[in-house]
Amino acid sequence: MVLSWYEQKAVAILLTLFHLGIKDIRLGPTLPAFVSPNVLDALVKNFDIKPISSPEEDLAAILQ
């Protein structure tokens, strides 16, 4: 799942996805301001969060 941070509702959506146990979420196009390096590290370790990269790389990874 790719979650874009264009609206503040994205935080509520992300928390809902965490509650449902959904992992392997890609965040972008830029990470929200509240995601510090330590917060990102915790999200990666606990929820398999990945910042998006290029469209080609992300599409290839999603379609695997």
Beta strands in the chain (DSSP E): 2-4, 26-28, 50-51
Q: Could you report the per-residue pLDDT of 4-14, keeping only the tens digit for each?
A: 666 678 788 88
Q: Could you report the per-residue pLDDT of 8-48, keeping only the tens digit for each?
A: 787 888 889 999 999 888 887 778 777 888 988 998 999 99
Which residue's structure tokens are 């998006």?
52
On average, the pLDDT of the chain sits at 84
Q: Indicate whether 54 pLDDT > 70.
A: yes
Q: State residue 15's pLDDT score.
A: 87
